[in-house]
């Protein structure tokens, strides 16, 4: 991925580099595409990115206004702490609980176009993530790697080639069992509606209930390729990504393909029963949040939620992939680790363990080492 001659040119030569960019094939950004046909333009429905110095998109003149017309920018960052990683998400509040032992690592590529926000993320360990989507964005989420294992979103299996189209402000959980690559895109509601009106000739908004779709393979493949190409360009040549003509062409291609995928009548079955289960898990999280400094037990949770032990266990296995007891334990272990990492010099392991509800310090230390690969005191000393 070193074919970056235009990236090293001086600013005065940028105008010369732009015309050839639209003519490049994805193999210029990613060697895995070498050998595939080199089309003259990237097309979808009535939208195309022509090979011109002034790059425009036919039939997709998406509206712009002063509120959303910020300059394009990108960020690429690596993380070793899930708590730090979750702070950098856009369009949703995300809370991660890593579920397996090992050395945690994550990469986040964040690309902000004029109206489109785009994120691409990789994480090394399995996790449960609670996601609360903003009402100010209309997002879609899909697996970025066509060869990776399925995950669960809101209790529904999500496989490569499928996408989640969340309801406005919806809250649900993701559950993974291996390392994962995720892709996310979002528009402001007015920009989404306007783009849909221009590209489809009809009004469209975020769905009233979360949808799971399997668009036609050629459309979904195009969306995945465009998403990866934009992320690779932002990573390896951010100055080209930030060029207004280049970023505008990429944005229009991405938005057009996303809208085309959502326009297809390709919904997967997502039953009312599963949606009701999602509401139970949401209540489960609310009860936990209401007592952040109090150890919680399954009987207390069931009483507060008005459900039976069996119901809570079934729903937790469906959405979280584990029992409520295991999930509560993992949350407390990660809260203890975060406190140890952020602890002041005078803080002790005993104080932190006790505050997180661990009364038997010996058992806590053994469990902590099994999960994180070091003793609690080692974590505290390393970050003191």
CA 308/CA 298 separation, integer angstroms: 10
Phi-psi region of 233 (alpha: psi -120 to 50; beta: other; left: phi over 0): alpha
pLDDT of residue 347: 82
- Residue 45 backbone phi and psi in degrees, to 5: 50, -120
pTM of the model as a whole: 0.72
152, β-bridge pairs: 157, 175
d(Cα 301, Cα 288) in Å, to the nearest integer? Answer: 8
pLDDT along the chain (384 residues), means of 10: 36 34 37 39 35 30 42 92 91 93 94 95 96 95 95 95 94 95 96 93 89 95 95 91 90 95 84 83 89 77 91 92 92 90 80 88 92 91 78
Residue 91 and residue 111 in contact, taking contact as beta carbons nearer than 8 Å: no
The two structure tokens encoding residue 11: 């600013």
b/e 125-148 (16+ beta carbons within 10 angstroms → b): bbbbbbbebeeebbbbbbbbeeeb
Domains and CATH numbers, the chain: 73-263 (2.60.120.10), 272-383 (1.10.10.60)
pLDDT of residue 120: 97
What is the Cα–Cα distance from 159 to 164, expressed in whole angstroms?
10
């Amino acid at each position: 991925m070193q074919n970056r001659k235009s990236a090293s040119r001086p600013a005065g030569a940028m105008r010369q580099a732009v015309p050839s960019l639209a003519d490049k094939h994805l193999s210029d950004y990613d060697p895995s595409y070498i050998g595939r046909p080199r089309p003259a333009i990237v097309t979808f429905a009535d939208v195309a990115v022509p090979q011109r110095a002034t790059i425009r998109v036919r039939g997709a003149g998406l509206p712009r206004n002063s509120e959303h017309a910020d300059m394009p920018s990108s960020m690429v960052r690596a993380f070793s702490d899930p708590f730090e990683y979750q702070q950098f998400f856009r369009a949703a509040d995300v809370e991660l609980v890593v579920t397996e032992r090992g050395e945690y690592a994550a990469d986040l590529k964040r690309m902000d176009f004029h109206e489109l926000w785009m994120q691409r993320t990789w994480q090394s360990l399995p996790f449960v993530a609670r996601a609360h989507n903003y009402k100010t964005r209309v997002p879609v989420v899909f697996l970025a790697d066509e060869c990776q294992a399925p995950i669960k979103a809101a209790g529904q299996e999500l496989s490569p080639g499928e996408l989640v189209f969340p309801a406005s402000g919806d809250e649900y959980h993701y559950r993974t069992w291996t390392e994962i690559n995720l892709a996310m895109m979002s528009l402001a509601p007015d920009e989404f509606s306007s783009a849909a009106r221009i590209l489809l000739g009809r009004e469209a908004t975020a769905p009233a209930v979360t949808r799971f779709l399997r668009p036609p393979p050629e459309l979904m493949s195009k969306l995945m390729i465009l998403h990866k190409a934009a992320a690779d360009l932002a990573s390896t040549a951010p100055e080209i990504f930030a060029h207004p003509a280049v970023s505008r062409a990429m944005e229009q291609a991405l938005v057009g393909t996303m809208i085309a995928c959502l326009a297809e009548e390709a919904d997967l079955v997502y039953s009312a029963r599963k949606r009701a289960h999602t509401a139970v898990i949401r209540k489960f999280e609310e009860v936990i949040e209401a007592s952040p400094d109090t150890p919680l037990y399954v009987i207390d949770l069931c009483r507060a939620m008005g459900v039976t032990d069996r119901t809570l266990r079934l729903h937790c296995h469906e959405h979280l992939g584990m029992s409520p007891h295991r999930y509560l334990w993992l949350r407390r272990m990660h809260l203890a680790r975060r406190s140890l990492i952020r602890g002041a010099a005078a803080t002790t392991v005993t104080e932190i363990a006790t505050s997180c509800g661990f009364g038997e310090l010996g058992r806590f230390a053994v469990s902590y080492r099994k999960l994180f690969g070091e003793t609690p005191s080692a974590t505290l000393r390393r970050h003191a």
